[in-house]
Amino acid sequence: MRTIAIAIVLSLAVSAFAVNNKAAEMTKATTNAADAVDAAIQVLYDLRQANYDAQAQKDSENRTQQEACDNEIADLYRIADINKAAGDATTAHRKYIEKEIADSHAYLEWIDSRRADISRRETELQDQRCYSAQIFVRSLKENSDAIEAINLLRNDLFASIDRKSPAGDQSAEELLQVAGATKKLAAYKHLMNEQALTAFNQLAALEDEGEAHEEDHTEGASNSVEEQINSLLDTLEEHFQTAIKSFEQSEVKAGWDLAIWLQDTEAELEYFQKEENRTNEYIDKMTIALQAAKATENKAWEIYFQSSSNYHNAITICRHKGEAYLADKHQRDDENALLEDVIKQFKENAGKML
């Protein structure tokens, strides 16, 4: 519009020059021509000043507009940043709930695994106790039989020695009893420890020693052999008695340990039952919370994306406003340059005419 107005003014100026030229040719000096030139120059000055004023107004408006745009963009950026932080927080919360659910399921799997281990271990221990009980009863029976054999041998041996007989016959009978005792006790050698086995070997050695000195034995010597045999039999009996007590103590301890283990595992299984119920309830709550967390997360990111879109739209709008301002300024600068050129030429031509 401004360009059209300038074109009209230029046309008037040209017309004025044409009239002036004719008048100059006719009169060479006329006041009408001078007035027309002054009026045309004034119009050009007014147009130039109008452009200057308009540009100054546009510059002021642009500064205000730019400041408003900067403030709006900064505000929208802060809003978008806050909304992004809110979105990140809702995502982190949703991931936390998912991890809690996954950890709870893993805990339940561990409880199931632990129960299976306890059941398997209980079966193993029960089998071991059955086998151990069998071994215990067998060992008890063998040691009891060994003690009974010792008592029988002691009774048989010393009953025969107490019978009145000649010294030689008594010694011979005694040695036969010792030989019989060692043969009967040989069946229980596997029950003896090193010390008891040594005593048994000493008892057996008496047979050989007695055979080597059979003719030289006296009543006192017979009594000495009797005492030795009795002492050795006592030692063996004591060994078997000690073994029985040891087996009984071991059996009681094993049974006690198993009872304690069963009691502990029973308490542990009760605790697992409570934990399983608590964990399942927690999973149910977390599953409901997860749905709410996902909805909140989706809404938070929707708000962020909208605020981010507003932020970028504001940048685009402000950039377009700035581009429009610069385009208008460039056009006005071109018009002012054109006006300056016309004014210069007009003055030059007017000087020549006047």
What are the domain boundaries of the chain? 2-100+291-353, 118-276
- Give per-residue pLDDT as tens, 131-142: 877 787 887 887
DSSP string, 193-259: -HHHHHHHHHHHHHHHHHHHTGGG--HHHHHHHHHHHHHHHHHHHHHHHHHHHHHHHHHHHHHHHHH
Residues 6 or more apart from 40 whose CB is under 8 A from it? Answer: 9, 12, 13, 16, 346
Choice among 18-32, 109-123, 244-258 with the minimum mean pLDDT:
18-32
CA separation (Å) from 288 to 13, 146, 282?
Answer: 85, 74, 10
Confidence class of residue 212 from pLDDT cuts 50, 70 and 90?
Answer: very low
Confidence class of residue 91 from pLDDT cuts 50, 70 and 90?
Answer: very high
Helix axes 219-353, 2-26, angle to 10 degrees: 20
Arithmetic mean of pLDDT over the chain: 78
Identify which has the larger pLDDT, 158 or 58. Answer: 58
The CA distance from 65 to 114, in Å, is: 72
Question: Is residue 175 a contact partner of residue 211, using CB atoms and an 8 Å limit?
Answer: yes
The CA distance from 56 to 260, in Å, is: 99
Amino acid at 88: D
Model-level pTM greater than 0.75? no
Q: Can you list the positions of beta strands (E) in 105-175?
A: none
Q: Which CATH architecture has domain 2-100+291-353?
A: Orthogonal Bundle (1.10)
pLDDT at 335: 86
pLDDT at 167: 46
Confidence class of residue 286 from pLDDT cuts 50, 70 and 90?
Answer: very high
The CA distance from 208 to 161, in Å, is: 19
Confidence class of residue 20 from pLDDT cuts 50, 70 and 90?
Answer: very low
CA separation (Å) from 213 to 11, 198, 216?
Answer: 171, 22, 5
